[in-house]
Amino acid sequence: MIIKLVCVGKIKELYLLPGIEEYLERIRHYTPVEYVEIKAETRKKHEPDALIKQREADKIRQTLMSNDCVIALDEHGKEFSSEQFAGMLSRYQQRGDVKRLAFVTGGATGLAEEFLHRADMMLALSKMTFPHQLCRLILLEQVYRGLTILAGESYHKS
């Protein structure tokens, strides 16, 4: 199963880049991984967030295949412990119809409601609020942690 991370916006906080690259490389030890950044929409004067989110959602959909299993990151999504998250990854790995698991993170305004409702799952990283760019690194670390749990390796300590 391929893990894909689709993100709106370029990383502006340069200190995050080495961490993102490190976890992408670690994940590649277990499974193929793809990382896609989509250009964030430019806000025009008095333009509502909903229009920006919709244009970004259109761009996101262009990077997805019809048979991708889409997990949208959203503050109202389901929360997991690391062990539960690993179990979720395992269930998707065992399903024969999931070839690519696509995690989608929105930009500063989040994801369009319509996109969230069409996703296969909504995932919350925490009840806390994180900068959207930092969420990428946190998610990648948790994917790596989940894969090490499934492999029975010692990275994860309960």
Measure the CA dihedral 119/33/127/47, to 10°: -60
Residue 54 lies in a domain: yes
Q: Which two tokens stand for residue 138?
A: 């946190």
Tell me the backbone φ, ψ of residue 106, rounded to 5 degrees: -80, 180
What pLDDT does 28 receive?
98
Residue 105 lies in a domain: yes
On whether 1 is known to bind a ligand per the annotation, the reply is: no
Residue 123 and residue 74 in contact, taking contact as beta carbons nearer than 8 Å? yes
What pLDDT does 86 receive?
97
Alpha-carbon dihedral sign for residues 68, 74, 80, 86: positive
CATH value at residue 113: 3.40.1280.10
Residue 30 lies in a domain: yes
On whether 73 is known to bind a ligand per the annotation, the reply is: yes
The reported pTM is: 0.94
Tokens 């989940």, located at residue: 146
On whether 127 is known to bind a ligand per the annotation, the reply is: yes
On whether 134 is known to bind a ligand per the annotation, the reply is: no
On whether 130 is known to bind a ligand per the annotation, the reply is: yes
Exposure class string for 119-128: b at 16+ Cβ within 10 A, else e = beebbebeee
Name the residue range of residue 43's domain: 2-150
What is the domain count for the chain? 1
Q: What are the tens digits of pLDDT across the range 98-117?
A: 999 999 999 888 999 999 99
Residue 110 lies in a domain: yes
Residue 15 lies in a domain: yes
Q: DSSP strand E in 80-145: where?
A: 100-105, 121-123
On whether 125 is known to bind a ligand per the annotation, the reply is: yes
Of 66, 75, 74, 53, the closest CA to residue 8 belongs to 53
Q: What tens-digit pLDDT sequence spans the chain (158 residues)? A: 999 999 999 999 999 999 999 999 999 999 999 999 999 998 888 889 999 999 999 999 999 999 999 999 999 999 999 999 999 999 999 988 899 999 999 988 899 999 999 999 999 999 998 888 999 999 999 999 999 999 999 886 65
What pLDDT does 100 receive?
97
